[in-house]
Amino acid sequence: GDSVTQMEGPVTLSEEAFLTINCTYTATGYPSLFWYVQYPGEGLQLLLKATKADDKGSNKGFEATYRKETTSFHLEKGSVQVSDSAVYFCALSDGTGGGNKLTFGTGTQLKVEL
Amino acid sequence: NAGVTQTPKFQVLKTGQSMTLQCAQDMNHEYMSWYRQDPGMGLRLIHYSVGAGITDQGEVPNGYNVSRSTTEDFPLRLLSAAPSQTSVYFCASSSYQGSPETQYFGPGTRLLVL
């Protein structure tokens, strides 16, 4: 079945540092890939997505590129802020369940300090 | 536009008790789903629905029942609560129009089973 593997957290960075959170996946066919973010005490929000190979999703300074050859979708940001502290989830949709079913990774907690 | 709402926010149950977690959305979304979030395991799909009157099982359906009598509501029932059901529960919805893979999450219900 489908699966998503993320790097273990927590990741602790100083403000303005470069961020990379690794994500790799296993799926049949050509899944769509997502990054969701969960701020403390809240539900998940879509951060960015990519629906086909070589697509780059971007939002709020975050970027991720769909790499089919390495089955990866790593999240990057050039300069993190304290307000980026949250849990980040990589996810995929393989088109089953009407295209809406998501398989999530375990999440990576990011802590950004001054 | 309230989005996805969930009640209650927090609940304590004793083993063997039953309860219903409520979920409602006002976006006229066809697809609704329930996830549980446990430390180190990410989000796992419990049940989902592709429209009123249609439900199906996800990855971890045992111990939970659902029904979908209206487009707006998708309650999750615990028939006989067990300590293993201690978790944070999220309801999500999405539409088949536009970007069907983009899911909108509620704020969550934290459940403690003693």
Residues A17-35 have pLDDT tens digits of 999 999 999 998 889 999 9
Q: Is A105–B42 a contact, with Cβ atoms under 8 angstroms apart?
A: yes
Whole-number CA gyration radius for chain A: 14
pLDDT at B40 over 70: yes
Beta strands in chain B (DSSP E): 4-7, 10-13, 19-25, 31-38, 42-51, 54-57, 64-66, 76-78, 87-94, 104-105, 109-113
Asked if A102 has any chain B CB less than 8 Å from its own CB, the reply is yes
CB atoms within 10 A of CB B55: 18
Which residues in chain B are contacts of A107 at CB distance < 8 A?
A: 42
Query: What's the gap in Å between the CA of B34 and the closest CA on chain A?
Result: 11
Task: Provide the residue count of chain B.
Answer: 114
For A33, A89, B23, B89, B106, the CA distances from B111, given in Å and listed in that order, are: 30, 22, 15, 8, 15
Average pLDDT, integer, range B6-12: 96
Top pLDDT among B16 and B42 is at B16
B94 touches chain A (CB under 8 A): yes
DSSP, collapsed to helix, strand or coil, labels residue B86 as: coil
Identity of the residue in B40, B50, B58 whose CB atom sits nearest the CB atom of A98: B50
- In Å, what is the CA distance from A4 to each residue of A87, B94, B109? 15, 21, 25
CB contact under 8 A, A107 and B42: yes
Q: How many CA atoms lie within 13 A of B19 on its CB side?
A: 21
User: Burial, A100: exposed, middle or buried (Cβ in 10 Å; 0-12, 13-18, 19+)?
Assistant: buried
Name every chain A residue with its beta carbon within 8 A of the beta carbon of B99: 49
Distance, C-alpha A21 to centroid of its chain:
7
Local confidence band at A96 (pLDDT 50, 70, 90 cut-offs) = low
- For residue A39, the chain B residue with the least C-alpha distance is B107
Rounded to a whole number, what is the distance in Å from the CA of A114 to chain B's nearest CA?
Answer: 27
pLDDT at A90 over 70: yes
- Give the pLDDT confidence of B68-100 residue by residue, as tens digits: 999 999 999 999 999 999 999 999 999 876 666
CB contact under 8 A, A42 and B103: no
Q: What does the longest C-alpha to C-alpha distance in chain B come to?
A: 43
Q: Cα–Cα distance between B102 and A58 in angstroms, integer?
A: 15
